[in-house]
Structure 1
Amino acid sequence: MGVHLIVDAWQAPADILNDVDIIRQTLVAAITAGEAMLIDLCVHQFSPQGVTATATLAESHIAIHTWPEYGYFAADMFFCGQGKLGGRHE
């Protein structure tokens, strides 16, 4: 099977939640740290604000959606197979 993580987070800085480059870099760093295999990455900047990022992994997927105006983001992560879970990423 696998591990399914669902995250709802509030009070995050709006400037980070609305920065496509930071979200892309953080997502790639987390995938690398987890030793997962990235198949496809799509990051979209909404107007006037908000970002959605999806990563298709050989081990499953990660999806992140941000609402900077509320300081909120949601993430859905599913990992199976040989990925390495654990630790912390800031």
Structure 2
Amino acid sequence: MSFYKGEEIFLGKQLLGELYSCDHDALNDPQKMKEIMEAAAITANTTIVQSVFHHFSPHGVSGVVVIQESHFAVHTWPEHNFVSVDFYTCGDTAFPEKAMEYLVHVLAPNSYELKEVNRGDLKKIDQFAKKEI
């Protein structure tokens, strides 16, 4: 599946989020972060395949929610009250922006940034494929 942006066709969309000054106990709790990220995935209209989360010593959590449409990843730095997220979706049925809205609501950062990157430009993929034949 793909999605259109103007006249261009892309295979996927990647949203990169930076959440600053999150004052939340979940940042050091892998089970809580798993619950939050899975809820974000459901909010984004995605299908969860599997989730893996790891707690670092003395603090921090990294995790990934593998979704049928690609993946959602998170990394926390509780000592800095900072969260970094990566929402990668393929097709046009998932809404990663809604996942980010959910995280902002739950983790209540003082500030956040969001960057969108379109992935898999089909025109370029086709051009390179023709060169290799």
TM-score range, shorter chain: 0.7 to 0.9
Distance in 2 (alpha carbons) for counterparts of 1:37 and 1:18: 26
Structure 1 gap segments, 5+ residues each: none
Distance in 1 (alpha carbons) for counterparts of 2:24 and 2:41: 23
Q: Which runs of 4+ in 1 moved over 3 A?
A: none
Distance in 1 (alpha carbons) for counterparts of 2:16 and 2:56: 22
State the TM-score, normalized to the length of structure 1.
Answer: 0.87
Larger proportion of helix: 2
The answer to whether 1:22 aligns with 2:53 is: no
User: Displacement of 1:56 after TM fit?
Assistant: 1.2
Distance in 2 (alpha carbons) for counterparts of 1:14 and 1:33: 20
User: Displacement of 1:2 after TM fit?
Assistant: 2.1
Query: How many pairs align?
Result: 90
CA contact (8 A) 2:69 2:94 kept: no
Question: Which position in structure 2 is the counterpart of 1:72?
Answer: 82
Structure 2 gap segments, 5+ residues each: 1-10, 106-133
Cα-Cα RMSD: 1.5
Tell which structure's C-alpha radius of gyration is larger: 2
Question: Which position in structure 2 is the counterpart of 1:62?
Answer: 72
